[in-house]
């Protein structure tokens, strides 16, 4: 028995496929995000509480994990939907781009690449960061498009 089979409401096949894609994107972005946070710890720069004794953007970025956990619970219990994820993904994409690759970057690419004695490791860490930004951006676009499609379906039905 699959999760969709245990739901008490009728779920269309398109909705099941859309939710599977959304869950896959959530898993990919969370994994890349965790890899990027671990990279911060390995590099030892731009690390804040709970690793260091001060609060900085790293500390605030850890809020993504409770947002994902609570959002996943609320999604599985049908209390939030694609608009929640569109907001989380969009905010994450803007913050990641601002802090890492914008003209005002607090943690520019050189801060990701140069701390490693082996340049291959530094560039690998940067590829993870770029992959994270791309995955979160794609997830935001997907969640927004999915929400718009569901909104149009509801207005056509009503």
pLDDT mean for each 10 residues of the chain (158 residues): 54 62 96 98 94 94 97 92 96 97 95 96 98 99 93 80
Alpha-carbon distance of 65 to 55, in angstroms, equals 17
| Nearest to 18, CA basis, from 139, 136, 137 | 139
Would you state the torsion angle of the CA atoms of residues 54, 60, 76, 4, taken in this order, to the nearest 10 degrees? -100
Model pLDDT, residue 151: 82
Model pLDDT, residue 2: 62
Taking every pair of Cα atoms in the chain, the longest distance, rounded to a whole number of angstroms, is 61
Can you give the pTM of this predicted structure? 0.86
Q: How far apart are the first and last CA of the chain?
A: 32
Q: Are 32 and 128 in contact (CB under 8 A)?
A: yes
Alpha-carbon distance of 145 to 148, in angstroms, equals 5
Model pLDDT, residue 152: 84
Model pLDDT, residue 12: 47
């Amino acid at each position: 028995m699959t999760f969709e089979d245990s739901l008490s409401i009728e779920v269309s096949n398109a909705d099941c496929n859309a939710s599977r894609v959304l869950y896959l994107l959530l898993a990919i972005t969370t994994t890349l995000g965790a890899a990027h946070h671990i990279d911060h710890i390995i590099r030892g720069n731009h690390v804040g509480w709970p690793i260091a004794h001060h609060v900085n953007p790293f500390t605030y970025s850890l809020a993504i994990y409770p947002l994902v956990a609570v959002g996943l619970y609320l999604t599985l219990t049908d209390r939030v939907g694609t608009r929640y994820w569109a907001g989380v993904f969009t905010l994450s994409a803007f913050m990641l781009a601002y802090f890492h690759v914008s003209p005002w970057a607090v943690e520019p690419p050189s801060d990701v690449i140069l701390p490693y004695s082996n340049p291959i490791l530094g560039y690998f860490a940067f590829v993870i960061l770029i992959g994270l930004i791309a995955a979160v951006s794609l997830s935001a676009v997907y969640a927004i498009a999915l929400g718009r499609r569901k909104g149009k379906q509801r207005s056509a039905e009503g």
